[in-house]
Amino acid sequence: MALGITNINNMAPELPLQFSEDLLSTPMFNLIHSFGCDLHYAESHIGKTTRMSRYERLSTDGGQLDGSGIDPAPEVVVRSDIDATMEIYAKTVVINEQVTLYENDKVLTKFTALLGQWLREKEDLLMRDLYSSSVSYLNATGGVNGDQPSEISRNDVNNIERILLGNDARTMLQSVDAMNKFNTSPTRDAFIALASTDITPDLQNVTGVILKAAYPSQEGLRPEEYCSISRFRFFVSSKAAKIPGASMLGATVYTIPMYGLEAAAKIDQNSYSAILGYRPPYVVSSVAQNSQLYAKFAIARAITNQNWISGLNVTARL
C-alpha cells in the first residue's frame, strides 16, 4: 500500500458536524380531553363567570282532564344553572440574541410552535382535571386482580352503559357499519371513554373488545382511539387521570370518564381564547439583547349534566 495518503486522519473535515435539515419530533401526548365537550363562548366586558342554564323537563304524572272544568295544577318550571369561572394561563420563553445569532435553526419559529403546543396540552390537562375532580365514578369490580377497584371488565363497562341510557344520555359517535372484510366487526353508535395508556393491556383483555384495527373502516378515526368495548369507544393518553395510592390495597387508581353529548363544556373567552405574542429586544432588555415569546389563553370548564356522564375507577392487572 502506498504511503502518504491524504485521509481524514491527517485532514479532518473543516466542520466536525453538520445540522440535519429535518428537526426531530417534539414529543406530544394524545389530546383526548377536549374534543368530546361542548364549546361555548364568553363575551368580553361582562364579568368572568359564565352561566349555562337548562330547563328541566315537566313531570308527566297525571294530566288527564276529568270533565269537571277544574284546571290542572300548574307546575313550576325548574331551571338548573351551571356556572364556570374564567381562568387565564400563560407561558413565556425569553431568548438571548446570541441564540438567534449563532443557532443554525430558526429558533424563534420553533419556539413559537412549542408555545402553540403548550396551549393545546395545557388545555387538555385542565379538562382532564375537571373530569377527574367533579364526576362520580364507580369502582370496577368485575376483574380478578383482587383489588378494589379491580381491573376493567365487560360487566363494569355494561353497567356504565346502563346508567347513561337510564339517564337518557345520547351517544356521541356514529356507528361504523359492517363490511365484507375478514376479522372486522361493526361498532354501534357510541359514548366516549377516556383512559390512561397504562391500562391498554387490560383493555385488550376485556371480553368482546374490538381493537381499532378491526373496525370495518378506518376513515375519520382519530389516532388517539384505541378500541371499542360494548357501547363505548376508548381514547387513550399517557396523561389521562390517575390517583396514586387510592385503591383498597394502596395501588394507583385510573379514572375513566365515560359520557355522551352535552355532558361537559369548555368555554372560550372571546378575544382571549389563544394569544401568541412577541416582545422585541428593545422592550425586554435595556441593552436590547433579550426578546420574549409568550402564549396565553383563557378557559372556563364545567360539567353541564351529571346525568350524562359517569365512569369507572380501575386498577391495572396486566
Partner 1 sequence: MAFTILDGGSFVSDGTAKKIPLPSSADYFKTWNITQMPLAPVTPVVINGEWFGSKFGSGQTAANDGLRTKKSANTSVINIDTFATTTASDGFTYVTTSPVVEAQAANAITAITAASPAVVSQTNTYANGDILRIYNTTGMLQIAGMPFQISTVSGSAYTLIGLRAAGFAFAATAGNTRRISKFNAVDPEVVYVTEVTKATSAVVRFSVDPTAYYVVGMKMRFSIPASYGMVELNGLTGVITALSAANYTATIDIDSSAFTTFAFPASASSPTAALFATAAPAGAYTSYNPVTLVQTGYDFNKQPFHTGQFTPYMLLPGGAQSPAGAASDVINWMCYKLEV
Contacting residues toward partner 1, per CB under 8 A: 49, 54, 78-85, 87, 129-130, 132-139, 141, 146-150, 163, 166-167, 241, 243-250, 253, 300-303, 306-307, 310
Phi, psi for 203 (deg, rounded to 5): -60, -40
DSSP for 180-209? S-TT---B-SBEEEEEEGGGHHHHHTSTT-
DSSP 3-state assignment of 122?
helix
Q: Residue 171 or 255: which CB sits closer to partner 1?
A: 255
CB of 172 to partner 1, least distance (A): 20
Closest C-alpha to 127, from 39, 49, 50, 48: 39
Q: Which is nearer to partner 1, 228 or 247 (CB)?
A: 247
Helix intervals (H) in 198-294: 200-204, 281-284
Beta carbons within 10 angstroms of residue 34's beta carbon = 17
301 near 267, Cβ under 8 Å? Answer: yes
CB of 128 to partner 1, least distance (A): 8
Which residue bears the cell 337518557?
168
Distance CA 172, CA 226 (A): 16
- For β-strands 290-303 and 87-96, DSSP reports them as antiparallel
87: which strand partners?
Answer: 299
Q: Which residues lie below 8 Å from residue 241, measured CB to CB, with a gap of 6+? A: 128, 129, 131, 132, 196, 254, 255, 257
| Residue number with CB closer to partner 1 (149 or 228) | 149
> At its nearest, how many Å lie between partner 1 and the CB of residue 147?
8
Nearer to partner 1, 250 or 280 (CB): 250
Pick 141 or 200: Cβ nearer partner 1: 141
Minimum Å gap between C-beta 318 and partner 1 is 19
d(CA 52, CA 39) in angstroms, rounded, equals: 12
Complex with partner 1: residue 28 or 248, whichever CB lies closer = 248
Total residues belonging to the chain: 318
- For partner 1, which is the closer residue by CB, 155 or 184? 155
Q: How far is the CB of 105 from partner 1 (least distance, A)?
A: 20
We find the least distance from the C-beta atom of residue 246 to partner 1, in angstroms, to be: 6
Compute CA distances 149 → 58, 115, 154, 196, 246, whole Å: 38, 38, 14, 15, 9
The smaller minimum CB distance to partner 1, of residues 138 and 276, is found at: 138
Tell the smallest beta-carbon distance from residue 65 to partner 1 (Å): 28
Minimum CB distance to partner 1, residue 159 (Å) = 8
